[in-house]
Amino acid sequence: MVDSSLQRFRRNLYSQNGEDGVVAELLKRLGITTGWFCEFGAWDGRYGSNCYALLLRKNWWGVMIEGVPTRFKLLQQLATKFDGRLHAVETFVSHDASSSETLDRVLARTPIPREFELLSIDIDGFDYQVWSSLERYRPIIVIIEINSSILPGLEGVHGENGQQLTTFSAMLKLGTGKGYRLVAHTGNMIFVRDDYVEKLGLPPAELDRPEKLFIEEWINPTALKEFRRKLSGMTPQRALVKLQNILRGDHK
């Protein structure tokens, strides 16, 4: 494996594994200073969020989707603080084409444009299927959860043959087929749409051999290494939100 040139930008405000810093660097290189994001499952809008740091900027708008009623109530309360810039939606996104709750149909009920800046998918399961089913909307950046405890090479999709969460290689294949290039792996995979990649100025070796971007932090970690990883990613902002959720009895 090689060190991604974006790994050094990993920083957390509210994200779990450095996504806030990588997203900030991607937006800087792309010259994007304003826009829209969509995130689900969003919890309370802050906990482990890859998008809340953007919402704290005055020139960003977003859609956050959460299906658990107790968490959605907190998300609603958060939305009232942002003068209409945050649209909270209570639903579980479906990948069933016949459902009224596919991501395409849910987003159609909001003001988010067809071409928007950032999509973050973290639903601990059918992430692959939901992104695969998305047809009408074309985000520039996609952050998506995978099973990072499996090395590149094995293609396994969540829900098939007992597979728990989709593997790196299967998600890479999906992203490539949808017109995206992998630019970083943080535990989540971060993709950028093909027509924007050149602006990033990434080394050709990273783009030509994306499997080399895989980081092995989740491969058979010892309890001590897992503790150190979580501790290194903790910030005062994340700690406060985590404590509040622990006190509510709702945390991960």
Burial of 28 (0-12, 13-18, 19+ CB in 10 A): exposed
Residue 35 lies in a domain: yes
Whether the Cβ atoms of residue 241 and residue 44 lie closer than 8 Å to each other:
yes
pLDDT of residue 2: 52
Query: What's the pLDDT band for 223 if we cut at 50, 70, 90?
Result: confident
pLDDT of residue 235: 72
Residue 147 lies in a domain: yes
| Structural domain for 61, as ranges | 7-68+79-248
pLDDT of residue 221: 72
pLDDT of residue 124: 85
Q: Is the pLDDT of residue 252 over 60?
A: no
3-class DSSP string for 81-128:
HHCCCEEEEECCCECCCCCCCEHHHHHHCCCCCCCCCEEEECCCCCHH
Q: Which pTM was predicted?
A: 0.91
Residue 73 lies in a domain: no
**What pLDDT, in 10s, does the model give residues 40-82?**
876 889 988 999 999 999 899 999 999 999 999 999 999 999 9
Please tell me which residue, 9 or 249, carries the higher pLDDT value. 9
Checking phi first, is residue 249 left (phi over 0); if not, alpha (psi -120 to 50) or beta?
left
Q: Is the pLDDT of residue 225 over 90?
A: no
Q: Closest by alpha carbon to 250, among 41, 53, 64? A: 41
CATH number of the domain enclosing 23: 3.40.50
Checking phi first, is residue 159 left (phi over 0); if not, alpha (psi -120 to 50) or beta?
left
- Above pLDDT 90, what percent of the chain? 79
pLDDT of residue 246: 63
Counted domains in the chain? 1
**Which DSSP letter does residue 57 get?**
S
**What pLDDT, in 10s, does the model give residues 146-169?**
999 999 999 999 999 889 999 999
The chain-wide mean pLDDT, for the chain, equals 91
Provide mean pLDDT across the span 171-184: 98
pLDDT of residue 229: 59
Residue 1 lies in a domain: no
pLDDT of residue 51: 96
Residue 126 lies in a domain: yes
Residue 74 lies in a domain: no
Residue 23 lies in a domain: yes
Query: What's the pLDDT band for 241 if we cut at 50, 70, 90?
Result: low
Q: Indicate the residue type of 138.
A: R
Query: What's the pLDDT band for 220 if we cut at 50, 70, 90?
Result: confident
pLDDT of residue 245: 62
Residue 99 lies in a domain: yes
Provide mean pLDDT across the span 224-244: 64
pLDDT of residue 247: 61
pLDDT of residue 88: 96
